[in-house]
């Protein structure tokens, strides 16, 4: 797991450096996701064999969660253990018919990392609202980590990246586990 967190953190640092160097390259949250994924592809873009003898890569976006507590939220970027990912219709349909997962044509109880992204533009929401959005993402990841730990004995690397173009927030005053939150301001 340490190698996953280390590789994720290196890609995040590359993103932060790029954001500070060329902040207006990041116009939308989708831009942030695209550039982060381009950095993550070096370590998580290799095609691997899936649990059901097909092929995929570890890196995915907009992953919808499910499980014992029937979650309905999504995560911006997720890295899977491909050896425990199922993608073939016959296997996934079988799981669906037993009510284990919604019909999304993939299934895995082994995500390795989940990353949420926030971008506040120069005309964006106020500080209190931005803090609230960040806190919601942190809380969501805490719940996911707990669900995976309790039900699947799976540890999850969690990160929330908040890029800010509006104004420097010196103290976010958000209770976040160590390494969960990466905040960066760049106003030009």
Residue-wise pLDDT tens digits, 71-101: 677 899 999 888 877 776 655 454 444 444 4
Q: What are residue 119's DSSP bridge partners?
A: 163
Q: Look up the domain containing 139 and give its range.
A: 2-185
47: how many CB neighbours lie within 10 A of its CB?
10
Mean pLDDT in residue range 122-129:
95
Check if the beta carbon of residue 87 is closer than 8 Å to that of residue 94: no
Q: What is the value of pTM for the model shown?
A: 0.89
At residue 185, φ and ψ (nearest 5 deg) are -110, 140
Mean pLDDT of all residues in the chain?
A: 85
Q: How many domains does the chain have?
A: 1
∠ CA 81-114-19, rounded to 5°: 120
Residue-wise pLDDT tens digits, 177-187: 878 999 999 97
- pLDDT at position 177 is 82
């Amino acid at each position: 797991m340490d190698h996953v967190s280390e590789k994720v953190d290196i890609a995040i640092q590359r993103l932060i450096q790029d954001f500070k160097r060329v902040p207006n390259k990041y116009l939308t949250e989708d831009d942030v996701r695209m550039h982060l994924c381009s950095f993550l592809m070096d370590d998580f873009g290799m095609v691997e064999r899936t649990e059901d003898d097909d092929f995929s890569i570890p890196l995915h976006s907009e992953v919808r969660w499910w499980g014992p507590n029937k979650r309905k939220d999504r995560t911006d970027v997720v890295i899977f253990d491909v050896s425990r990912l199922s993608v073939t219709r016959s296997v996934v349909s079988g799981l669906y018919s037993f009510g284990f997962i919604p019909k999304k044509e993939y299934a895995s109880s082994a995500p390795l990392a989940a990353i949420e992204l926030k971008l506040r533009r120069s005309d964006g929401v106020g500080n209190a609202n931005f803090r609230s959005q960040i806190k919601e993402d942190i809380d969501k990841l805490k719940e996911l980590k707990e669900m995976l730990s309790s039900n699947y004995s799976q540890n999850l690397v969690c990160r929330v990246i908040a890029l800010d173009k509006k104004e420097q927030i010196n103290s976010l005053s958000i209770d976040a586990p160590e390494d969960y939150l990466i905040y960066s301001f760049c106003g030009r």
